[in-house]
Amino acid sequence: MGVLTGKTALVTGASRGIGRGIAERLGRDGARVAVHYGTNEAAAKETVAAIEAAGGEAFAIGQELGAPGDAAALWAAFDARAEGLDILVNNAGIAATRPFGAIGEEEFDRVFAVNTKAPFFLAQLGAERLRDGGRIVNVSTGLSRAALMPDLIAYSMAKAALDVFTRDLSKVLGPRRITVNAVAPGIVDTDINAGWLRGGEEAWAGAAAMSALGGVGTPAEIADVVAFLASDDARWVTGAWIDATGGSLT
Strand order in the sheet with 241-244: 57-62, 32-37, 8-11, 85-90, 130-139, 179-185, 241-244
The whole-model pTM stands at 0.96
Answer for the pair 222, 22: CB distance below 8 angstroms, yes or no.
Answer: yes
Domain chopping of the chain, boundaries? 8-244
Answer for the pair 1, 80: CB distance below 8 angstroms, yes or no.
Answer: no
Q: Which residues are catalytic?
A: 155
Per-residue pLDDT of the chain (250 residues; tens, 9 = 90+): 799 999 999 999 999 999 999 999 999 999 999 999 999 999 999 999 999 999 999 999 999 999 999 999 999 999 999 999 999 999 999 998 788 999 999 999 999 999 999 999 999 999 999 999 999 999 999 999 999 989 999 999 999 999 999 999 999 999 999 999 999 999 998 877 767 677 777 888 888 898 999 999 999 999 999 999 999 999 999 999 999 999 999 8
Q: Strand (E) positions, the chain?
A: 8-11, 32-37, 57-62, 85-90, 130-139, 179-185, 241-244
Q: How far is CA 177 from CA 158, 182, 238, in A?
A: 27, 16, 9
Q: CATH: 3.30.1330.20, 3.30.930.10, 3.40.190.100, 3.40.50.720. Which one for 8-244?
A: 3.40.50.720
